Structure 1
């Protein structure tokens, strides 16, 4: 049931066509741009076998008695969510940084579609059966599962039919074996993943009941006709100078679907815009939780960096410094509190899963996203300018230069080596190309920040607050608000717009 790291690595040695920096990659797992992050994903698989972490990474399947990964288990209890939270924390602590696209955060999107089986049954019962089978397969086999959302889009002021129709992924042909799709999608980690849940990004279908763009499916990443064109990476930097860039770059990829056959058994919905609108409206009801948990770990890194920097330089006694450190601590605990509360007040989904409290979860995500840039700059302010003036580690290796560097970088009981390591880590966390990329990714990986606010609005039950004011103001009952209209709008006006 459980995969090993070696089995995962072998599974992506399948002849897929991958390009990066103008080079066609012959072997993804060993290529220097991919090897660090592939090794981390392999490490996550291996943690399930190690005595110290096996119990937090796995559970015993009641039906088979086999051990399975907790990350891909559909949640049915608060204990499931707490174990998922613990397993992610164990992974991030073991690898020493933050990785986002490793599977646990994207599997939840299929659970959202599972909750929409009533919608799928109205279209074609086979689609409902397909999603049930894929949820079960993912639970048992634990493939590296990612999510392909963003299209090339073209001119967003025009419909695809008014320009090159391939700017959004679409179905170009039906066959007895399945559908033929053409277009491009952007997806982090696709070049070294096993499968992707591919779905449309259109949020407003107008009055069209059907569309060749309204399609969702599971794509095997070794399918014939797939091509992967990756952005330039950060992984080849010296690990001493860039301890995060060199290990944690999750390579973003444009996946080209060059007339790719998707078998009917892998099609989750097709043509009907109602199904596409439903999945856009509910896509992140589960996956927002692990994304928010990544904000918590970023906050831990920011807080630790701020505190150690102030400690090394002896500025902790200043009131302004303490207030800024406390500000970062407040941010960290705000994120943690939303995670805890979302579990403790979890709600039963339409198909019997347990989903985190939607009001609390989406409110926490909106606040975490909005406040993150301010927290980064606050820590930058605490850490000072020296991080941007840091010589490279190789300069410290030069005996002549090292004599001066060891003298001027040492601070009382803090060695020059420890001072350099903290400054290098701080620079990579806050000021490097990788840091800027990660900040942008964290803000937009699920949806733009404005969509986070819309998700709060569309998932919030305003009846309690409205009733409180109605009674306090002495208003008639005829003006009482009903949430039925709000809930109905969720299906018509998706809470998640285009994912960037």
Structure 2
């Protein structure tokens, strides 16, 4: 397993990262990326601490310790063990980072569990998946991935657009060209896993599962506007946990066939897709439950600070957040307690339960933010910075007018700056968008759930109680 300094050193590999139109030569030191890079390095350091070894790691096939993120679960107990790891790591950032080192291994595990389906089309693909899974586990690499394509004119056929696609091939490589959007954490990862989702009109040349090192020639990451340029004292979340999103541009990139997991086969892609993602939904839901815990904690402290904890409306709003926390926990435990076993004996947390839970969590997330802002009132917008609080000319005034609560003025400022970062600022807005579209958009998931749900047994019960004979016409 790697340490934090080893992880940071791995980022100095000539990768092409562009921010505000300028190439970033040292991503680990850039002000917009350094906070997140240090956060990730701290997580690598944590897994080599003796007191966390059993929580975060396991014994690998070669007898050496490896990250527990790469465990292949065989039982409910394994899923529960993984959940405890995810909860611990997520709580270090309050659930605000979706691409910690323990996340994309679950996408790779989904591929690993679907290799039987891949093998029916190409034994080479299944073998590539297994080798890749083992290599990334043993090298302790940080992976990121992309599903999303850039937004396009949907009135045009998919094949006519510049989605990522195969443009040529030879005996050892595929050559791909195009763009993927929302490559979250791309600038700070070691490996980039690319997975095309099913979509209407998907052309065979656009059906692709493959991986590349982030520093691959011809691959460029174009970053969005950063949210992390404030001082940590004033922006406690965004200064450390802004996991940069980027467009990933492929300019005739040569992909070794040994790194291709599926190519130009739409039918196999559609068959394997749900299995690829089910483990990731488990992680997403656990992380969102942790984030709900953070909302509960901040909301409770704000109510105490403002002396509103005993107001009936405030009690009800706090109770709503706590019910949300417990509902998510119940979904998670239910999915773990009722796993679906693959033919290879891999225990998948129940996919149907996770799908319903994810839809519920995404629907409720904006309400958490609105509730916190409502509890804070105008104080969350008017909280001074720590520079202002420490100003010789302003300090006396600010300390005087911020006094009177249960904590010192500086601590009141810290609390409200956290609340703003969590619920009100640009970082918070990005959180809403991330949750809404992480795991595909909510409307599409609702439709897919409704279309895939078998209600025949429910209909049989309704017919029996209505006295409708089997096969009887509805209109008789």
Please give the range of the TM-score, normalised by the shorter of the 2 chains: over 0.9
Aligned equivalents of 2:136, 2:334: Cα separation in 1: 28
**Aligned counterparts, 1:27-426, within 5 A:** 27-61=26-60, 63-95=61-93, 98-162=96-160, 165=161, 167-186=162-181, 187-205=183-201, 211-426=204-419
CA-to-aligned-CA distance 1:74-128 (integer Å, 9 cap, x gap): 2222222222211122223345563211232222223333333343233221111
Consecutive unaligned residues of structure 1, counting only runs of 5 or more, are 480-500
Q: 1:101 to 1:86 in 2, by over 3 A?
A: same
How far is 1:422 from its partner? 0.9
Deviation at 1:136, TM superposition (A): 2.3
Residue 280 of structure 1 and its aligned partner are, at CA, apart by: 3.4
Distance 1:148 1:5, change over 3 A: same
Moved more, 34-43 or 463-472: 463-472
Partner of 2:427: 434
Instruction: Quote how far apart the aligned CAs of 1:448 are.
Output: 0.8
* Structure 2 counterpart SS, 1:274: helix
Which position in structure 2 is the counterpart of 1:487? Answer: none
Distance in 1 of aligned mates of 2:334 and 2:198: 32
RMSD (CA atoms): 2.0
Separation in structure 1 between the aligned mates of residue 345 and residue 255 of structure 2, nearest angstrom: 29
Alignment partners' CA distance in 2, 1:474 and 1:115: 45
Cα distance in 1 for residues equivalent to 2:285 and 2:457: 26
- Taking a change above 3 Å as real, the CA distance of residues 87 and 459 of structure 1, as seen in their structure-2 partners, is farther
Q: Any idea what SS the aligned residue of 2:255 has? A: strand
Report how far residue 464 of structure 1 moved. Answer: 4.5
8 Å contact kept, 2:421–2:428 = yes
Instruction: Provide, for residues 211-242 of structure 1, a one-character-per-residue CA deviation record: whole Å limited to 9, x for no partner.
Output: 11112111211111111111121222011211
Rounded Cα–Cα distance in structure 1 between residues aligned with 2:279 and 2:463: 33
Whether the 8 Å CA contact 2:436–2:442 is kept in 1: the answer is yes
Shift of 1:181: 0.5
Q: Deviations over 1:21-41 (max 9, x none)?
A: 122111111111111111111
Q: Secondary structure in 2 aligned to 1:368?
A: helix
With over 3 angstroms needed to count, the CA separation of the structure-2 counterparts of 1:96 and 1:118, relative to structure 1, is closer
Quote the Cα distance in structure 2 between the aligned partners of 1:40 and 1:293. Answer: 20
CA distance in 1, matches of 2:194, 2:138: 21
- Cα–Cα, structure 1 residues 316 and 38, in superposed 2: closer, same or farther, change >3 Å? same
Aligned residues of 1:205 and 1:273 also touching (Cα < 8 A) = no
SS of the residue 1:387 aligns to: helix
Change (3 A) 1:458 1:13: farther
Distance 1:257 1:453 in 2: 32
* CA shift in 2, pair 1:106/1:97, >3 Å: closer
Q: Is the alpha carbon distance of 1:91 and 1:114 closer, same or farther for their aligned partners in structure 2, counting shifts above 3 Å?
A: closer
Cα shift at 1:477: 4.4
The separation in 1 between residues aligned to 2:359 and 2:298, in whole angstroms, is 24
Distance in structure 2 (CA, Å) of the matches to 1:133 and 1:357: 27
CA drift of 1:389 comes to 1.4
Q: Distance in 2 between matches of 1:476 and 1:273?
A: 42
Distance in 1 of aligned mates of 2:350 and 2:405: 49
Task: Identify unmatched segments of 5+ residues in structure 2.
Answer: none
Q: Which moved more, 1:327-336 or 1:134-143?
A: 134-143
Q: Offset at 1:409?
A: 0.9
Is the alpha carbon distance of 1:377 and 1:16 closer, same or farther for their aligned partners in structure 2, counting shifts above 3 Å? same
Moved more, 402-411 or 458-467: 458-467
SS, match of residue 277 in structure 2: coil
Deviations 1:51-85 (A, max 9, x none): 22111000112x32211111122222222222221
**1:446-494 CA-partner distances (Å, limit 9, x unpaired):** 2111123234335544355334334333444458xxxxxxxxxxxxxxx
CA contact under 8 A between 1:97 and 1:248: conserved in structure 2? no
Report if aligned partners of 1:312, 1:414 keep a CA contact under 8 Å in 2.
yes
Partner of 2:16: 17
Q: Secondary structure at the match of 1:150?
A: coil
**Aligned equivalents of 1:280, 1:133: Cα separation in 2:** 20
Aligned residues: 472
Distance 2:30 2:95 in 1: 21
Deviates more, 1:210-219 or 1:337-346: 210-219
In 1: Cα distance, 2:311 partner to 2:87 partner? 33
